[in-house]
Amino acid sequence: RHSTFYFNDDPMAIFLVEKKLFKVHRHYLIQESKIFRDMFSVPKEANTETEGMSDEHPIHLPDVTAREFELLLDHFYALFVSSLILDVLASLLSSFMNQNLLLLLSIAHRFAFDRLFKVTLDEVVVDKVAIIDRIRLGEKYNLCEWLFSAYEALLDRKESLTRDEADALGPDRVIRFIGARDFMHQDRLGIAQADLKHTRNQLDQRSNGHNFRYHQVASSWKPKATRSIVERFFLDPDPSRCYSPLSVRSESE
C-alpha cells in the first residue's frame, strides 16, 4: 500500500459555511485535526440521517468564514498533489499575501491543524501585520514574539495609544505600557542630562583658561534597547504560555 495514495473509505462530506455548501473529501481533515477525527467518529443515531451526507443536512461550521475554509481546502488539495511534502507547502504559502496567511492561521488554530498552523506561522511577516492585530492574535494564539513586536512598535513611535489599541491591551497592560514608556523617557533624559553636564564642564574649563582643545565626548551611557524594556515590563513569568506546536488547540476544547 502506498503511504500517501491509498485512501481507506474516503467518502465526501458536505459543509455549510457562511451560507455556502462545500462538498469535499474527509481524508486530510481527519488526518490533520483531532477535532475533525472526533467529529466523523460519532456513531450514527438510529433512523436519522448523518450530518454531512446531503445538502439538506450539512455539517455547520459556525464562526468560520468561507474564505478561511477555501484557503484550508486549497492547501489540503495542493498537498494531495504534492505528496504531503512540507517544503512544498511552505513554498505554496510563501506566495500568499499576509492577510490570507492570517485567515489560514485562524482556521488552522480553530480546528487544531497543528502542522499547518506552524508552517503558516513561519511564513507570516510579523512587521507587516498591523500593531493591533499583533496584539489580538498574539494574545489569542499565545505568540509572545508577536506581542513583544507590538509593544516595541508602540514604545518606539511618538503617537499615543489609540482607543482600539488600549482596548486590545486591557487595563493591566496599559498600565505596564505607561510605566515602560515613562522608564524609557527617563532613561533617555538621564543620558541627555549627563551629556549636557559633560559639555558644560568642558566649557567651564575652557573659560577658566585651561589649555586644551575643546571636543565633545559622547556619554558612555547608551539608551536601553527597547526590547530589554519590553522584557522588563511585559515578560510573562510562565514561559509555557508562549506558543509551541503541541500547545495549539481549538478554542472549543
- For residue range 120-153, list pLDDT tens digits in order: 898 898 999 999 999 999 999 999 999 999 999 9
For the full predicted model, state whether its pTM sits above 0.95.
no
Residue-range domain boundaries for the chain: 12-124, 125-242
Per-residue pLDDT at 2 exceeds 70: no
Helix (H, G, I), strand (E, B) or coil at 16: strand
Residue 240: how many CA atoms within 13 Å on its side-chain side? 2
Q: Which three cell numbers stand for residue 162?
A: 489609540
Domain 12-124 has CATH 3.90.198.10: no
CA nearest neighbour of 242 among 120, 107, 108, 145: 145
Question: 166-209, pLDDT tens digit by residue?
Answer: 999 999 999 999 999 999 888 777 666 666 666 676 666 666 65
